Amino acid sequence: DAKTTQPPSMDCAEGRAANLPCNHSTISGNEYVYWYRQIHSQGPQYIIHGLKNNETNEMASLIITEDRKSSTLILPHATLRDTAVYYCIVRWAGAGSYQLTFGKGTKLSVIP
Amino acid sequence: DTGVSQDPRHKITKRGQNVTFRCDPISEHNRLYWYRQTLGQGPEFLTYFQNEAQLEKSRLLSDRFSAERPKGSFSTLEIQRTEQGDSAMYLCASSLERGSTDTQYFGPGTRLTVL
């Protein structure tokens, strides 16, 4: 799986949009971008994933650049409960290994 | 709640003892995964089942570790002769095979402390 690079930490004011970047410059055509988050002492929570197109669900939006070398997770109106470690993961979509390879993620702190 | 459940949530044991953790996946999910997470690190893959077959094991899964999923439903992870280095959060995830991709949903984890 391609490696991802994320900033170690970010701050965001409550009520503002949180934009979390991720670089995955070696991503291949058959690899998806997944985002998970982990609130302190809980299991990781799935947020969203995409291949080429931008995606939106009730939690967030995922913007993938046209060359697919980077992506941004957007939380439109951050709340204190969004304080967590956010993991960007690139995952092979073909048959074979289905494991998720987590990095250290970005620690997002939402500030009142 | 129909999410992934894990039992126990916390386990404290003495070095050298055996421990067993249980994971109940989301109903009808045919894939089940075990991960381990140490302090300050992201989760690391240990092993994966499709139905009852264990299809992949990480090199992290030493011979003291064994996982089973006897009927393709719940799974157990046993650690024999625990060591202090085994202290970690053990996470279980499940997914439903769906074409070329699936989404893994994680349980709350079992936190193991080896004294």
Tens digits of per-residue pLDDT, B7-65? Answer: 999 999 999 999 999 999 999 899 999 999 999 899 999 999 999 999 989 988 889 99
Within 13 Å of residue B26, how many CA atoms lie on the same side as its CB? 17
* CA-angle at A24, arms to A53 and A33, nearest 5°: 40
pLDDT (mean) for A87-97: 82
Asked whether B92 and B23 are in contact (CB, 8 A), the reply is: yes
Instruction: From chain B, pick out residues whose CB is under 8 angstroms from the CB of A46.
Output: 103-106
Tens digits of per-residue pLDDT, B59-109? Answer: 888 899 999 999 889 999 999 999 999 999 999 999 998 766 789 999 999
Q: Give the tokens for residue A103.
A: 């990095």
Closest Cα in chain B, distance from residue A71 (Å): 19
Q: Among A43, A45, A93, whose Cβ lies nearest the Cβ of B101?
A: A93
Tell me the torsion sign for CA atoms B60, B64, B65, B71.
positive
Closest Cα in chain B, distance from residue A90 (Å): 12
Strand, helix or coil for residue B84: helix
